[in-house]
Chains A and B, each alone.
Chain A
Amino acid sequence: DAGVIQSPRHEVTEMGQEVTLRCKPISGHDYLFWYRQTMMRGLELLIYFNNNVPIDDSGMPEDRFSAKMPNASFSNLKIQPSEPRDSAVYFCASSRQISSSPLHFGNGTRLTVT
Protein backbone atom coordinates (compact mmCIF):
# COMPACT_ATOMS: atom_id res chain seq x y z
CA ASP A 1 0.00 0.00 0.00
CA ALA A 2 1.74 3.15 -1.26
CA GLY A 3 -0.60 5.47 0.58
CA VAL A 4 -2.06 8.68 -0.82
CA ILE A 5 0.38 10.23 -3.29
CA GLN A 6 0.45 13.94 -3.95
CA SER A 7 2.51 15.88 -6.45
CA PRO A 8 4.36 18.11 -6.57
CA ARG A 9 5.66 18.34 -2.97
CA HIS A 10 6.52 21.99 -3.45
CA GLU A 11 5.27 24.51 -5.98
CA VAL A 12 6.45 28.08 -6.34
CA THR A 13 4.68 30.22 -8.89
CA GLU A 14 4.03 33.84 -9.73
CA MET A 15 0.75 35.56 -9.18
CA GLY A 16 -1.60 35.10 -12.10
CA GLN A 17 -0.25 31.72 -13.16
CA GLU A 18 -2.30 28.55 -13.24
CA VAL A 19 -1.46 25.95 -10.62
CA THR A 20 -2.38 22.27 -10.75
CA LEU A 21 -2.08 19.99 -7.74
CA ARG A 22 -2.41 16.25 -8.18
CA CYS A 23 -3.55 13.38 -6.01
CA LYS A 24 -3.62 9.61 -6.33
CA PRO A 25 -5.83 8.05 -3.63
CA ILE A 26 -5.32 4.65 -2.09
CA SER A 27 -6.62 1.94 -4.39
CA GLY A 28 -10.14 0.84 -3.42
CA HIS A 29 -11.00 4.02 -1.56
CA ASP A 30 -14.34 5.57 -2.50
CA TYR A 31 -13.93 8.98 -0.90
CA LEU A 32 -11.43 11.70 -1.78
CA PHE A 33 -11.03 14.96 0.15
CA TRP A 34 -9.05 18.13 -0.54
CA TYR A 35 -7.97 20.24 2.46
CA ARG A 36 -6.02 23.47 2.73
CA GLN A 37 -3.92 24.35 5.77
CA THR A 38 -2.73 27.79 6.80
CA MET A 39 -1.56 29.20 10.10
CA MET A 40 -4.53 31.53 10.29
CA ARG A 41 -7.34 29.15 9.33
CA GLY A 42 -6.01 25.69 10.18
CA LEU A 43 -7.21 22.70 8.16
CA GLU A 44 -10.12 23.64 5.93
CA LEU A 45 -12.16 21.17 3.90
CA LEU A 46 -12.36 22.46 0.34
CA ILE A 47 -14.24 19.74 -1.51
CA TYR A 48 -14.88 16.03 -1.36
CA PHE A 49 -15.81 13.32 -3.85
CA ASN A 50 -17.65 10.03 -3.44
CA ASN A 51 -17.23 7.48 -6.24
CA ASN A 52 -15.62 10.21 -8.38
CA VAL A 53 -18.63 12.53 -8.02
CA PRO A 54 -18.19 15.91 -6.30
CA ILE A 55 -20.50 15.94 -3.28
CA ASP A 56 -19.79 19.17 -1.44
CA ASP A 57 -17.68 22.03 -2.76
CA SER A 58 -18.92 24.63 -0.32
CA GLY A 59 -15.42 25.03 1.08
CA MET A 60 -13.90 26.09 -2.23
CA PRO A 61 -12.98 29.72 -1.60
CA GLU A 62 -13.63 31.23 -5.02
CA ASP A 63 -14.38 30.47 -8.63
CA ARG A 64 -10.63 30.53 -9.21
CA PHE A 65 -10.55 27.10 -7.56
CA SER A 66 -11.77 23.97 -9.30
CA ALA A 67 -11.33 20.25 -8.69
CA LYS A 68 -12.01 17.19 -10.77
CA MET A 69 -11.84 13.45 -10.34
CA PRO A 70 -11.92 11.90 -13.83
CA ASN A 71 -11.43 8.37 -12.48
CA ALA A 72 -11.02 6.45 -9.25
CA SER A 73 -7.24 6.78 -9.21
CA PHE A 74 -6.71 10.48 -9.86
CA SER A 75 -7.89 13.92 -8.81
CA ASN A 76 -6.56 17.40 -9.42
CA LEU A 77 -7.11 20.78 -7.85
CA LYS A 78 -6.58 23.83 -10.06
CA ILE A 79 -6.17 27.45 -9.16
CA GLN A 80 -6.47 29.92 -12.03
CA PRO A 81 -5.34 32.63 -11.67
CA SER A 82 -3.30 32.12 -8.50
CA GLU A 83 -2.88 34.84 -5.89
CA PRO A 84 -0.41 35.26 -2.99
CA ARG A 85 -3.19 34.53 -0.46
CA ASP A 86 -3.52 31.04 -1.94
CA SER A 87 -0.15 30.17 -0.43
CA ALA A 88 -0.75 27.20 1.88
CA VAL A 89 -0.21 23.49 2.24
CA TYR A 90 -2.82 21.51 0.31
CA PHE A 91 -3.61 18.01 1.47
CA CYS A 92 -5.45 15.23 -0.26
CA ALA A 93 -6.99 12.38 1.75
CA SER A 94 -8.96 9.26 0.92
CA SER A 95 -11.08 6.73 2.75
CA ARG A 96 -13.30 3.74 2.15
CA GLN A 97 -17.05 4.07 2.18
CA ILE A 98 -17.74 1.18 4.49
CA SER A 99 -18.44 1.61 8.18
CA SER A 100 -16.11 3.93 10.07
CA SER A 101 -13.03 3.68 7.89
CA PRO A 102 -10.62 6.54 8.76
CA LEU A 103 -9.10 9.15 6.50
CA HIS A 104 -5.62 8.60 5.11
CA PHE A 105 -3.68 11.72 4.20
CA GLY A 106 -0.98 12.40 1.67
CA ASN A 107 2.11 14.42 2.55
CA GLY A 108 0.73 17.56 1.00
CA THR A 109 1.80 20.14 -1.56
CA ARG A 110 3.31 23.34 -0.23
CA LEU A 111 2.23 26.12 -2.56
CA THR A 112 3.93 29.51 -2.59
CA VAL A 113 2.53 32.22 -4.83
CA THR A 114 4.77 35.28 -5.17
Chain B
Amino acid sequence: DAKTTQPPSMDCAEGRAANLPCNHSTISGNEYVYWYRQIHSQGPQYIIHGLKNNETNEMASLIITEDRKSSTLILPHATLRDTAVYYCIVRVEGTSGTYKYIFGTGTRLKVLA
Protein backbone atom coordinates (compact mmCIF):
# COMPACT_ATOMS: atom_id res chain seq x y z
CA ASP B 1 0.00 0.00 0.00
CA ALA B 2 1.20 3.47 -0.82
CA LYS B 3 2.32 5.17 2.37
CA THR B 4 2.54 8.82 3.29
CA THR B 5 5.02 10.69 5.46
CA GLN B 6 4.16 13.93 7.23
CA PRO B 7 5.91 16.04 9.88
CA PRO B 8 4.41 15.28 13.29
CA SER B 9 3.68 18.90 14.17
CA MET B 10 3.71 22.46 12.85
CA ASP B 11 2.87 25.92 14.13
CA CYS B 12 1.38 28.75 12.10
CA ALA B 13 0.53 32.34 13.00
CA GLU B 14 -3.09 33.32 12.72
CA GLY B 15 -3.85 35.02 9.41
CA ARG B 16 -0.82 33.56 7.69
CA ALA B 17 -0.78 30.74 5.16
CA ALA B 18 -0.27 27.25 6.55
CA ASN B 19 1.67 24.96 4.23
CA LEU B 20 1.48 21.30 5.19
CA PRO B 21 3.79 18.94 3.28
CA CYS B 22 3.29 15.27 2.52
CA ASN B 23 5.58 12.72 0.94
CA HIS B 24 4.04 9.83 -1.01
CA SER B 25 6.97 8.60 -3.07
CA THR B 26 5.49 5.13 -3.70
CA ILE B 27 2.23 6.39 -5.16
CA SER B 28 0.96 4.67 -8.30
CA GLY B 29 -0.29 6.42 -11.41
CA ASN B 30 -4.00 6.10 -10.70
CA GLU B 31 -3.95 6.67 -6.94
CA TYR B 32 -5.52 9.85 -5.63
CA VAL B 33 -4.19 11.97 -2.77
CA TYR B 34 -6.73 13.07 -0.16
CA TRP B 35 -6.47 15.46 2.76
CA TYR B 36 -8.58 15.26 5.89
CA ARG B 37 -8.48 16.99 9.22
CA GLN B 38 -9.62 15.90 12.65
CA ILE B 39 -10.53 18.27 15.44
CA HIS B 40 -10.39 16.70 18.89
CA SER B 41 -12.02 13.27 18.60
CA GLN B 42 -14.58 14.20 15.98
CA GLY B 43 -14.74 12.18 12.78
CA PRO B 44 -12.13 13.20 10.18
CA GLN B 45 -13.42 15.90 7.88
CA TYR B 46 -12.72 15.83 4.14
CA ILE B 47 -10.81 18.85 2.82
CA ILE B 48 -9.65 18.27 -0.75
CA HIS B 49 -8.23 15.67 -3.11
CA GLY B 50 -6.34 15.45 -6.40
CA LEU B 51 -4.64 13.16 -8.89
CA LYS B 52 -2.19 15.18 -10.98
CA ASN B 53 -3.34 18.75 -11.22
CA ASN B 54 -3.39 21.37 -8.51
CA GLU B 55 -6.80 21.80 -6.93
CA THR B 56 -8.53 24.58 -5.01
CA ASN B 57 -11.80 24.77 -3.14
CA GLU B 58 -13.33 27.01 -0.51
CA MET B 59 -11.26 25.42 2.26
CA ALA B 60 -7.79 24.97 0.81
CA SER B 61 -5.47 24.48 -2.13
CA LEU B 62 -3.61 21.30 -3.02
CA ILE B 63 -0.32 21.46 -4.87
CA ILE B 64 0.95 18.15 -6.31
CA THR B 65 4.47 17.92 -7.70
CA GLU B 66 4.90 16.90 -11.32
CA ASP B 67 6.36 13.52 -10.36
CA ARG B 68 3.44 13.08 -7.90
CA LYS B 69 5.82 12.00 -5.13
CA SER B 70 4.80 14.79 -2.80
CA SER B 71 2.08 17.34 -2.22
CA THR B 72 1.35 20.40 -0.10
CA LEU B 73 -1.91 21.45 1.47
CA ILE B 74 -2.26 25.22 1.74
CA LEU B 75 -4.66 26.94 4.13
CA PRO B 76 -4.41 30.49 2.76
CA HIS B 77 -5.38 32.41 5.90
CA ALA B 78 -5.19 30.18 8.95
CA THR B 79 -7.54 30.84 11.86
CA LEU B 80 -7.57 29.44 15.38
CA ARG B 81 -10.35 27.07 14.30
CA ASP B 82 -7.93 25.44 11.86
CA THR B 83 -5.99 23.94 14.77
CA ALA B 84 -6.34 20.20 14.14
CA VAL B 85 -4.55 17.06 13.02
CA TYR B 86 -4.21 16.98 9.23
CA TYR B 87 -3.98 13.66 7.41
CA CYS B 88 -2.61 13.14 3.94
CA ILE B 89 -3.72 9.77 2.56
CA VAL B 90 -3.56 7.86 -0.65
CA ARG B 91 -6.53 5.90 -1.88
CA VAL B 92 -5.12 2.52 -2.86
CA GLU B 93 -6.62 -0.25 -4.90
CA GLY B 94 -7.93 -3.13 -2.86
CA THR B 95 -9.24 -6.46 -4.03
CA SER B 96 -11.75 -6.98 -6.82
CA GLY B 97 -11.32 -3.49 -8.20
CA THR B 98 -12.32 -1.81 -4.94
CA TYR B 99 -10.56 0.98 -3.09
CA LYS B 100 -9.47 1.60 0.47
CA TYR B 101 -8.09 4.57 2.39
CA ILE B 102 -5.11 4.06 4.68
CA PHE B 103 -4.40 6.81 7.22
CA GLY B 104 -0.93 7.71 8.48
CA THR B 105 -0.02 9.57 11.66
CA GLY B 106 -0.82 13.07 10.38
CA THR B 107 0.48 16.54 11.22
CA ARG B 108 -0.74 18.32 14.31
CA LEU B 109 -1.18 21.95 13.24
CA LYS B 110 -1.38 24.58 15.92
CA VAL B 111 -2.50 28.05 14.86
CA LEU B 112 -1.14 30.69 17.19
CA ALA B 113 -2.90 33.95 18.03
Interface residues of A (CB under 8 A from B): 4, 31, 33, 35, 37, 42-43, 45, 48, 50, 55-56, 89, 91, 93, 100, 102-108, 110
* Closest chain B CB from A110 CB (angstroms): 7
Top 6 A-B residue pairs of the complex, sorted by shortest distance between their CB atoms: A105-B43, A43-B103, A102-B46, A50-B98, A100-B32, A55-B98
Q: Answer whether residue B69 sits at the interface, using C-beta atoms and an 8 A cutoff.
A: no
* Closest chain B CB from A88 CB (angstroms): 10
Asked if residues A108 and B100 are in contact (CB atoms below 8 Å), the reply is no
The bracket for how many chain B residues form the interface is: 20 to 34
Q: Answer whether residue B34 sits at the interface, using C-beta atoms and an 8 A cutoff.
A: yes
Q: Answer whether residue B102 sits at the interface, using C-beta atoms and an 8 A cutoff.
A: yes
Contact flag A108-B49 (CB < 8 Å), given A42-B103, A43-B103, A45-B102: no
* Closest chain B CB from A41 CB (angstroms): 10
Interface residues of B (CB under 8 A from A): 32, 34, 36, 41-46, 49, 51, 87, 91, 94-96, 98-106
* Closest chain B CB from A93 CB (angstroms): 7
Query: Which residues of chain A are within 8 angstroms of B98 by Cβ–Cβ distance?
Result: 31, 48, 50, 55-56
Query: Which residues of chain A are within 8 angstroms of B100 by Cβ–Cβ distance?
Result: 33, 45, 48, 56
